[in-house]
Amino acid sequence: MIRFAKPSEETELLRLFNICFPGEEEFGEYFFKNHFSLKDTIVDEEKGVIRGSTMMLPYYIEGVGEVTYLYSVDTLPEFRGRGICKNILEHSHKLDLEKGRKASILIPGGKDLFDFYKKLGYEISSYADEREFTVLSENTSFELKECTPKDIEAFYRSHFKGRKAVRRSEKYFYDQINLFNTFGGGCSGLYDSDKLLSCGFYSRENGVLKFDEILGESCDVLASEVLKKKGLSHCTGRTEGGSVPIGMAYYYGEKFDFYMNLMFN
């Protein structure tokens, strides 16, 4: 039976998340404490056992309309291969159609999952560019500062004006900044006086720095200044454009490509 989750099942859903995403237990605890949405979570349950689940988070794509972002599509290992994920997705699609949503979107958790979701009707809809950054020798007159949610929201809105991209609010960026700060990363921006030219969310793992998202003009300068501040010589970064598949969509009508990176992925 597929239904909405009950308040008493939150602990069980966290356990399911940790089983399906090993090594992400600390993040799972943080996410469920701060961002888990019980009212948007559907589960597959049989004889009191939650076999699978997903969160149907509502988002809006500029120039398109409201969509569902499927976060954490989980199935217990012992129940895989029985069509549970397929049934959960099909049920979510029915709910989307009732609400008039334009598509179901998701970010596969690994390269092998692109083929899995493709078999279920999803198509690649979002791409990114993965680059390497190094320390630049020349100095810059721009100032490196920690970004505020207000600054990033205004920058993002201007940067993607007239283009299809997931709408992000000031609160959205507040949540993302808090997430990155909590796990040893951060969000830095390159400013020309009070104008934000580029911004980047970065994380560190085993001493290696990467920009999970870096946008705007002068990205190379921004990355260089962050590297100098951290005493590092190089890093990688993900930005818009390019040909690296990031997101997929199950369309309920007209197809569209859009920008969607940095979605708690």
- Buried b / exposed e over 218-238, threshold 16 CB at 10 Å, is ebebbbbbbbeeeebeebebb
Distance of CA 56 to the CA centre of its chain: 13
Residue linked to tokens 């493709």: 118
pLDDT at 207: 82
The 3-state DSSP class for residue 160 equals coil
pLDDT at 255: 97
Residue 263 tokens read as 């979605």
Calculate the CA dihedral of residues 10, 11, 12, 18 and round it to 10 degrees. 110
d(CA 73, CA 84) in angstroms, rounded, equals 10
Residue 72 tokens read as 């954490």
Q: How far is CA 36 from CA 10, 72, 82, in A?
A: 9, 11, 27
The one-letter code for the residue type at 154 is A
Looking at the chain, the whole-number percentage of residues with pLDDT higher than 70 is 100
pLDDT at 211: 98
**Beta-strand runs (E) in 64-111:** 65-75, 103-106
| Biggest CA pair distance of the chain | 65
- Do 138 and 224 form a contact (C-beta atoms < 8 A)? no
The 3-state DSSP class for residue 225 equals helix
pLDDT at 138: 85
CA torsion through residues 38, 15, 211, 231, sign: positive
- Do 2 and 91 form a contact (C-beta atoms < 8 A)? yes
- pTM for the structure as a whole: 0.94
Flag residues of the chain having pLDDT under 50.
Answer: none
d(CA 237, CA 133) in angstroms, rounded, equals 7
